[in-house]
Chains A and B, each alone.
Chain A
């Protein structure tokens, strides 16, 4: 989710630049305001979808991809990234679909050789997609890769860069691409120009996603006992500082939410319930062990404008899930229906 905020800032910066050179202001699209709910979809059903929530009117619009394109998305949405005017829906079922962020009309896709795509960055007119590759007989992924596509609107894969097993989140830092690789617990550093791995950096915990805070880059990682937040050196990409938070069984997919004041929300699966724990990046300590609790928590998002925490709830995967809105005091505001497995939120 923090990558989405980071991407949002890039988009905002791009808009500023474009506004500086072009006096014409384009109207914002229907989906460039409000909240986008990313529903991952259920395994075997491929029913991932994006919902849109208008915080002013309280209206929830379901299945915006299907409405815009007249067909289902047909995939499990692992990650949604926004670069410039496009949103990239990364499905772990083997495709990336590119939609215009304003109206969610599809402009293209990457298909064919993707198997288990996880995340994406767009830079230098190219797309870089992390993919676990095929499973072997022992359910390992020895042939993970980064797929390269020439062009920002999809197309065929022009190169596959072999990478450490189970690449997950990706980020741009300087003129390099960082890839969090789960299996060997390391960060791979890619040069996007020559499309090669330049170095790897070992980290504590299983790394998932990168995020920015106070003009610095961080990496979120965890293991069964702790959550690790590594601050990365922008030159060496080594972890120059690591906060270790004693949060057990934080959710395996690495979903978390960050506030502008450096508070991090994570989900901890506990014996009888799921608990949202609040961490402080500034102090490196757990701020609130039980900010909010319930069952079947799956995704988090934080809306800075309204200081509201959004919690995705998967209803035991028996059907569609729901979204809980929680205020800054940890009180439930309301609960609304969502799609299958709401795993993340995007605040344009």
Chain B
């Protein structure tokens, strides 16, 4: 048996490295039931009383098989992803902010590009994460720069039971799309590890209506192929006496033909190679937990021959301790070295941050969080960043509880390297963008033997000042702190789970209403005052119904995205659209040593012709077939 278990991954590795061009279908990664995970470090969200943190477990087999982080957030949340096409650049808009106003972390390591100040959510395949946590609202005091609209945390974790196992997943889909993943985990004495390899080949030959040509012919996309492969390695060593060493590494490569906007004959190509590694030493004591973290992120992006390299090296230390049952505290320091070798400039810089987060629970049903952060950036103090939250459970009995939450917090964004040093036009005198966010929320939970219900409503108000905009100058463009934007809105989340005999039924809905308003604009753009920001839908609704009985499970999902303005004066509008999907899967076991899931899902069932961004066609109805095997 041992020989088999070693042999299978080696064979699979060879198989993964084979050329894939001849295949016309894709290999899907199933959503996999994962074992419970052990978390040694204290999560950041511990100190987020009053703010909403939603965890997307990826172990729900009935959920849609997301292809990347961008697809996952688009299909499973009320968040809006600005996607330039399937597998193309995708950025997140949270609470009406722009792409650079959200922080993204992988195992606690900030992975937003320091040159662009944002992340491309399409280059993060699901193989590189076991859990996704979404922190809504400004959280600069907790997470540092970029967390103005919110933050997204990706994490990998080795299962607690440490059993030796190998899993294989494959997805075949419409338009010549094929995904594969293999993962092997094992424990040798006190050391456990997991190795995952993935390969995605998307030909993306989907039909679309060419609105740019006379007669609006149906054409097949011929320049949107994506080839992606990568290696994710997790390692955990239990050193005894409550000490743990955790390491993770992610080496990924993605080559893309850039899908041209309708009417253009562009043949751009982009290749990204991303290397991320993080090492944590954690010591759990009776009252304190120490965490020393080091990490490295190296991004290499080649666009049509232009090469851009960035590097972030991070060293951090923090201690969590509980001086009494009412108090909980975290104190930390973080040093970051950033280096950029861009096509038009080179620059390196240092950042130092001190932060303190404190929880105070005077009563069982009442808790406060206070977060403070001070960043020193190139010897200059970035404005002090505080946050304060409260959570009050005002009603509780054995079947239900009601909770009120409130929060006020500040966020900031240090101007990107490109903003400050791009040649020509970079403006080294830019100030950091600043935000103030306030929110009120109510949580309600009900559960008995048959049904579990969860409702959450949040109201938020956020003001972002010093918003950086690139504007044309005499002979080139330059960024300036010109815009002030007020964003307010409502977020509602609902979840039902019903057990009727051997039937499990579920219903989930996530809705966001976002209203933004320009309060200050560049000279000459006064017509934009009071207007909604481009590509911020006022309404986004996502719903999902699940059913599970014995080994069978199925789902129906739907999402509605409201109108989006194309321009800041709100004179051009893209129509709203609805997308529906459905799927089913069946678990199976064969002999003693293999079990798995086989599934089929249909996306965009009604073949809706829609564009997330204007003149960027998206695929119509498509089918995915997936198999997941556990050996």
**Contact size class for B?**
20 to 34
**Contact size class for A?**
35 or more
B572 within 8 A of A: yes
Specify which chain B residues have a CB less than 8 angstroms from the CB of A95 in the assembled complex. 212-213, 263, 265
Specify which chain A residues have a CB less than 8 angstroms from the CB of B261 in the assembled complex. 44-46, 74, 93
Q: Which residue of B lies closest to A269 (CB)?
A: B474
B474 and A318 within 8 A (CB): no
B571 within 8 A of A: yes
A221 to B472, CA, bound (A): 23
A109-B213 contact given A46-B615, A319-B569, CB 8 Å threshold: yes
A313 to B211, CA, bound (A): 28
A47 and B265 within 8 A (CB): no
A111-B213 contact given A91-B263, A320-B569, CB 8 Å threshold: yes
Q: Would you give the 0/1 interface string for B474-485, flagging 1 where the beta carbon is closer than 8 Å to chain A?
A: 110000000000
B265 and A108 within 8 A (CB): no
B567 and A319 within 8 A (CB): yes
Q: Which of A106, A115, A319, A337 contacts B265 (CB 8 A)?
A: A115
B131 within 8 A of A: no
In this complex, the member of A97, A313, A315 whose beta carbon has the largest number of chain B beta carbons within 10 angstroms is A315
B286 within 8 A of A: no
Q: Which residue of B lies closest to A44 (CB)?
A: B261
Binding-face segment, B413-421, B444-452, B517-525: B517-525
A71 to B572, CA, bound (A): 14
B305 within 8 A of A: yes
Specify which chain B residues have a CB less than 8 angstroms from the CB of A46 in the assembled complex. 212, 261-264, 615
A170 to B213, CA, bound (A): 25
In this complex, the member of A45, A317, A318 whose beta carbon has the largest number of chain B beta carbons within 10 angstroms is A318
A295 and B569 within 8 A (CB): no
Q: Which chain A residues numbered 91 to 107 have a C-beta less than 8 Å away from chain B?
A: 91, 93-95, 97, 106-107
Q: Which chain A residues numbered 107 to 146 have a C-beta less than 8 Å away from chain B?
A: 107-109, 111-112, 114-115, 135, 137
Specify which chain B residues have a CB less than 8 angstroms from the CB of A270 in the assembled complex. 474
Q: Would you give the 0/1 interface string for A47-88, flagging 1 where the beta carbon is closer than 8 Å to chain B?
A: 100000000000000000000010111110000000000000
B263 and A74 within 8 A (CB): yes
A45-B528 contact given A72-B211, A318-B522, A320-B567, CB 8 Å threshold: no
Q: Which residue of B lies closest to A135 (CB)?
A: B304
B39 within 8 A of A: no
Q: Would you give the 0/1 interface string for B192-224, flagging 1 where the beta carbon is closer than 8 Å to chain A?
A: 000000000000000000011110100000000
Q: List 28 A-B contacts (CB under 8 A).
A: A47-B572, A71-B211, A72-B615, A74-B212, A74-B261, A74-B262, A74-B263, A74-B615, A91-B263, A94-B264, A135-B304, A137-B305, A249-B474, A252-B475, A295-B523, A295-B524, A296-B524, A315-B524, A315-B527, A316-B524, A317-B471, A318-B568, A319-B525, A319-B528, A319-B568, A319-B571, A320-B571, A337-B571
Instruction: List 19 additional A-B contacts (Cβ < 8 Å) besides A107-B214, A318-B528.
Output: A45-B614, A47-B572, A71-B216, A72-B263, A73-B263, A91-B263, A95-B212, A95-B263, A95-B265, A108-B214, A109-B214, A137-B305, A269-B474, A315-B569, A318-B522, A318-B568, A319-B525, A319-B528, A320-B569
Closest 8 CB pairs of A and B: A74-B263, A74-B212, A94-B265, A319-B568, A319-B567, A319-B569, A93-B264, A75-B263
